[in-house]
Amino acid sequence: MRHGIRATVLAVVLGSCAAVVPAAWAAQDGGSRPRLERLSTAADGRAGDASSSEVSLSGNGRFAVFTSHASNLVPGDTNGVADVFVRDLRRGTVERVSVAGDGRQADRESGSASVSDDGRYVVFASQAGNLAPGSTPGLLNVFVRDRATGRTTALVKGNGQQPAAQVHSPSVSADGRYVAFLSDRTDLVPGDTNGTTDAFVADRREGTVRRVSVGSDGSQARLFSETPVISADGGTVGFMNPGTLGGEGAPAAALGPRPRYFYVHDVRTGRTEKAATRPDGSSTRVGDIGLSPDGRFALFSSDDSQIVPGDTNRTADLFAKDLRTGNTRRISLAADGSQADGASWGAVMSADHRRVFFTSEATNLAPGDTNGRNDVFARDLLTGAVERLSARADGSPSTAGDAGGVRADAAGRSVVFEAPGDLTPGGRPEQPEVYLRRRG
């Protein structure tokens, strides 16, 4: 997931136009590799000629997927819009994946990709009308790219009856079978009469779609849903909603910006429960959300000081709630247990529940953090150790801009994130790039 999904950002798949990167990359296969690498590079090793962002990583740690406006990452990129690319970290190849099955370039922007554990399937949203049958130019739709076959398909096809309806914000299960997404279409499931954006799950094997932003009793949400996240097995879907579901949650604010609440839906049982709560069980507002790969832990940021005892720093912290036991712990802490002196968000967790990776503006989580910028951190929940990841190979920080958007493989050994171009030699300090950090 993305400090969540960006409202205007689209999504894409892994595709064609494979380009072999320079010998310096290829020679690393099977040998020692640098701990920090820039991923958004052209085939000749130069930095991309425009910004890159929205990086994700396959569960096996082999494939990095990202969005880029650069036109020099692969040959023949002449469409002048943001595309999605995949870098094979073992072979050192880069592919553009926002293409049709016959290799045609997308005629509009693509982005916000989510990738299966083995890197075979990439799902994305795009406004392009020429990627697959069933898409409408200018409207967001979710596409699935099968990298093994080179086939690109629309996740749900348009019927021409809802000319302004869109499908977007995909999140894919480990095996690529299930895809969670958002849509304001009313024809995907029977009885969709709430007139707002809902969260759904598509079963690609069975060809079915199920709405998950509903109460345990099946009642519809009154307000729009946001930011779907899916567990590795596809059995749990989390989402945000500013209203109540089936009597759950807290009432939405009458005036001003509405707080968002975090819900999780069990696809097998149909049960929907609150995932971010105070000790008394009442819902708490959240800034962003995530799930551990197995769906057991709900991860969220919140500026509510009543979630755990001793929260006095008056800023947004990160929390992990064990959905099995109901226990919630604060995870954005320094190694000595002291509170962060700045906001934290965007957490992801390793499959063994031991490590959490996140973004923070705090300056006291790790020694030497004096750059005054948002940085990416790793915290070992067993030992409490905190490591800053968004630093140069010599440990020095970037002062050119903020880092963020962290993602990790299932083992927590490889981490990708966005940061300024000056973290590695040859980059442009003012240009956002995407990086890989190998841990140990």
- Provide CB contacts within 8 A for 279, sequence distance 6+: 306, 307
pLDDT, mean of residues 80-96: 95
The two tokens of residue 255 are: 């005036």
How does residue 157 score in pLDDT terms, banded at 50, 70 and 90?
confident
* Residue among 186, 163, 174 at smallest CA distance from 118: 174
CB neighbours of residue 433 within 10 Å: 27
pLDDT greater than 90 at residue 85: yes
In the structure encoding, which two tokens stand for residue 208, read together? Answer: 């079915």
Rounded (10°) CA dihedral 181, 186, 192, 193: 130
Q: Do the strands 93-96 and 110-115 form a parallel or antiparallel pair, or are they unpaired?
A: unpaired
C-alpha 186/C-alpha 197 separation (Å) is: 9
Q: Which residues contact 87 (CB under 8 A, 6 or more apart)?
A: 39, 63, 64, 66, 93, 94, 95
> What is the reported pLDDT for 34?
67
Closest CA to 170 of 142, 133, 128: 142
Read off the pLDDT of residues 260-272 as tens digits, 9 standing for 90 and up: 999 999 999 999 9
Residue 134 pLDDT grade (very low, low, confident, very high; cuts 50, 70, 90): confident
Which residues, at least 6 apart from 354, have a Cβ–Cβ distance to it below 8 Å?
Answer: 380, 381, 382, 412
Residue 115 contacts residue 172 (beta carbons within 8 Å): yes
Q: pLDDT at position 286, please?
A: 98
The token pair at 165 is: 């309806």
> Tell me: the pLDDT tens digits for 13-71?
223 333 333 323 233 344 456 699 999 997 678 789 999 999 999 999 999 999 999 99
- pTM score, two decimals? 0.91
Q: What is the pLDDT of residue 6?
A: 41
pLDDT at residue 159, as a whole number? 67
| pLDDT at site 13 | 29
pLDDT in tens, 184-228: 999 999 999 999 999 999 999 999 999 999 999 999 999 999 999
Q: What span, in angstroms and rounded, lies between the C-alpha atoms of 196 and 181?
A: 14
What percent of the chain shows pLDDT beyond 70? 88
Instruction: State residue 255's pLDDT score.
Output: 45
Q: In degrees to the nearest 10, what's the CA dihedral of 86, 90, 92, 98?
A: -10
What number is the average pLDDT over the span 352-362?
A: 99
Band of pLDDT at residue 355, cut at 50, 70 and 90: very high
pLDDT digits over 401-438, tens only?
A: 999 999 999 999 999 999 999 999 988 889 999 999 99
Q: Percentage of the chain surpassing pLDDT 90?
A: 81
Q: Would the pLDDT of 233 be above 90?
A: yes
User: How wide is the angle at C-alpha 409 spanned by C-alphas 90 and 103, nearest 5°?
Assistant: 55
Are residues 50 and 70 in contact, defined by beta-carbon separation less than 8 angstroms? yes
Q: What is the rounded CA–CA span in Å between residue 85 and residue 106?
A: 13
Question: What does the radius of gyration of the chain's CA atoms come to, in whole angstroms?
Answer: 21
Instruction: State the Cα–Cα distance between residues 350 and 167, nearest whole angstrom.
Output: 29
